[in-house]
Amino acid sequence: LGPLLFESAPGVGRHEVIIECPEHLANPARLSDEQLRDVFLAYRDRLVALADEPGLRYAAVFKNVGAEAGASLGHCHSQIVATPIIPDNIQAELDGAKHHHDRHGRCIFCDIVASELADGARVVARSPGFVALVPAAARFAYELWVLPTHHASRYETLTPADAAELAGLMKRVVRALDAVLRDPAYNWFLHAAPLRSPDLPHYHWHFELMPRTSRPAGFEWGTGCFINAVPAETAAAELRAATM
Ligand SMILES: [Zn+2]
Ligand SMILES: [Zn+2]
């Protein structure tokens, strides 16, 4: 029974570090617009390159800012970990989005974007092609999502013009986080279609930003339920005011 119960596989994959600037900056809000644009383009270029390796199925792109968020060095950098599996969180999001599409014939993220832009209460900032919002059921206080307002499942379709626009919006967002939470530690990570996916009608790439406003403790670890003491609309209003 043992080998069946405790299935394992060799730890194959790729771990890459993207160094974002030659000067010693620790806060990505201080990168120039061009540097941040190039970071978003580098994510795209590495996803394209990693898709050439047939054993890899997903590439997780993420950034840790501050020791509390897991950063072990101060210099601005992002990381990519490519794995031979699709991680559970990504698969759950893909499955949930597919379920919504099967029932309603629409992308749930497009529906969220349309509904949030029409309502406005949880929108933090927007540009012609992107929106930053506090999700309705945010797990952490001041959690943010940044999404393209047009449908796109594969991050690989990002153009240089998109990257410049995304960089401008992301900078406003992280500056607002710095202002409201006084330079918090945070993570941002990309959720996008797995490597070598065709265009998916039901999935929509996005960044999630998680400021470390509280520590998950026994209740969160034990149940997977998160306690967030700041209503999404309150967090969005404070962050929105800080982007003005
Ligand atoms: Zn969509
Ligand atoms: Zn996501």
Question: Rounded to whole angstroms, how far apart are CA atoms 117 and 136?
Answer: 13
DSSP string, 37-97: HHHHHHHHHHHHHHTTSTT--EEEEEEEESGGGT--S-S-EEEEEEESS--HHHHHHHHHH
How far, in Å, from the CA of 181 to the mean position of ligand 1? 31
**Average pLDDT score over residue span 76-84:** 96
State yes or no: pLDDT of 18 exceeds 80. yes
How far, in Å, from the CA of 5 to the mean position of ligand 2? 30
How far, in Å, from the CA of 74 to the mean position of ligand 1? 35
pLDDT band, very low/low/confident/very high, at 156 (cuts 50, 70, 90): very high
State yes or no: pLDDT of 3 exceeds 80. no
In the chain, % of residues over pLDDT 70: 100
pLDDT digits (tens, 9 = 90+) for 175-193: 999 999 999 999 999 999 9
How far, in Å, from the CA of 89 to the mean position of ligand 2? 8
Question: Could you list the active site residues?
Answer: 77
Q: Find the ligand nearest to 96 CA.
A: 2
Q: For residue 136, which amino acid is it?
A: A
Q: Find the ligand nearest to 109 CA.
A: 1
pLDDT band, very low/low/confident/very high, at 69 (cuts 50, 70, 90): confident
pLDDT at site 11: 86
Mean pLDDT estimate for the chain? 95
pLDDT at site 63: 96
The residues whose Cβ lies within 5 A of ligand 2, an ion, are 191
Question: Rounded to whole angstroms, how far apart are CA atoms 120 and 133?
Answer: 9
Lowest mean pLDDT, pick from 1-10, 22-31, 100-109: 1-10
**Average pLDDT score over residue span 61-78:** 90
In the chain, % of residues over pLDDT 90: 88
Q: Find the ligand nearest to 113 CA.
A: 1
pLDDT at site 34: 96
State yes or no: pLDDT of 152 exceeds 80. yes
pLDDT at site 71: 85
CB-based contact 76:27 (threshold 8 Å) = yes
Q: Find the ligand nearest to 135 CA.
A: 2
How far, in Å, from the CA of 157 to the mean position of ligand 1? 14
How far, in Å, from the CA of 32 to the mean position of ligand 2? 27
pLDDT at site 244: 81
**Average pLDDT score over residue span 152-176:** 98
pLDDT at site 210: 96
The 3-state DSSP class for residue 214 equals: coil
pLDDT digits (tens, 9 = 90+) for 94-134: 999 999 999 999 999 999 999 999 999 999 999 999 999 99
Angle at 138 between CA 136 and CA 142, to 5 degrees: 110
